[in-house]
């Protein structure tokens, strides 16, 4: 599990095709590679990947076919910058929100508004993802834990402060760029559990503005 607080930025040194997978060699700016062990989990732009090798300054991870199909990892080329976060340890502060590192789908930045104190992004996403996006809820965008400021049938707004713009890749991304999205995992589990208890057709009559006061 991760927190959505980007720990460091890395540079893709190599991106080599391995059958239906891609092996990435990543060089972090500051994250100590010596502290990484084989099998460790590192989040790359929101994608949890396993460390398979290290060489002192860089480390390797392998992105399989599923990851390439559902994320932007397949677009990475040598020189690309990526957001990095090591898996949280038991007892760490949870400064963002619970992030699994399992990308649910892709969104597209449709607007970027620089307001000085912050930058507001409008992100378009599929209805299958937007059903889990709620105003003032949490969402991970390229591995960054953000608060949803507004949501409608086509997409949602998030804002970042100058610190986030400087310390992550998001600050340099223009309108038109695709981003990895992970919705709040708690919402997905709640839906799954309620689906097994509500009578047929009840799910479509739930008013999202009113709290559930009990199950039948």
**Domain boundary assignment for the chain:** 8-86, 105-190
Residue 5: the pLDDT is 94
CATH number at 8-86: 2.40.30.20
CA-CA-CA-CA torsion for 3, 107, 135, 48, nearest 10 degrees? -10
Q: Which residues of 41-77 are buried (b: 16+ CB within 10 A; e: fewer)?
A: bbbbbbbbbebeebeeebbbbbbeeebbebbbbbebe
Question: Residues 52-107: pLDDT tens digits?
Answer: 999 999 999 999 999 999 999 999 999 999 999 999 887 777 787 889 999 999 99
Residue 194: the pLDDT is 86
Question: Residues 137-152: pLDDT tens digits?
Answer: 999 999 999 999 999 9
pTM: 0.87
CATH number at 105-190: 2.40.30.20
Question: Residues 38-56: pLDDT tens digits?
Answer: 999 999 999 999 999 999 9
Question: Residues 189-205: pLDDT tens digits?
Answer: 888 888 755 555 554 44
In this chain, the answer to whether the domains covering 8-86 and 105-190 adopt an identical fold is yes
């Amino acid at each position: 599990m991760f927190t959505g607080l980007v720990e460091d930025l890395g540079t893709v040194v190599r991106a080599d095709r391995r059958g239906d997978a891609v092996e990435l060699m990543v060089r972090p700016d500051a994250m100590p590679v010596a502290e990484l062990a084989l099998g460790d989990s590192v989040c790359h732009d929101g994608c949890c990947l396993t460390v398979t090798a290290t060489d002192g300054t860089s480390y390797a991870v392998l992105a399989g076919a599923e990851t390439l199909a559902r994320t932007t990892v397949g677009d990475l080329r040598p020189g690309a910058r990526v957001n990095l976060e090591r898996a949280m340890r038991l007892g760490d502060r949870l400064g963002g929100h619970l992030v699994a590192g399992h990308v649910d789908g892709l969104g597209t930045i449709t607007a970027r508004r620089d307001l000085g104190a912050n930058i507001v992004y409008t992100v378009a996403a599929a209805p299958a993802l937007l059903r889990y996006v709620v105003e003032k809820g949490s969402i991970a965008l390229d591995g960054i834990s953000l608060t949803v400021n507004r949501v409608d049938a086509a997409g949602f707004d998030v804002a970042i402060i100058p610190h986030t713009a400087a310390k992550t890749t998001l600050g340099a991304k223009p309108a038109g760029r695709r981003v990895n999205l992970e919705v709040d995992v708690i919402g997905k589990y709640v839906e799954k559990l309620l689906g097994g208890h509500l009578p047929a057709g009840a799910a479509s009559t739930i008013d999202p503005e009113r709290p559930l006061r009990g199950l039948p």
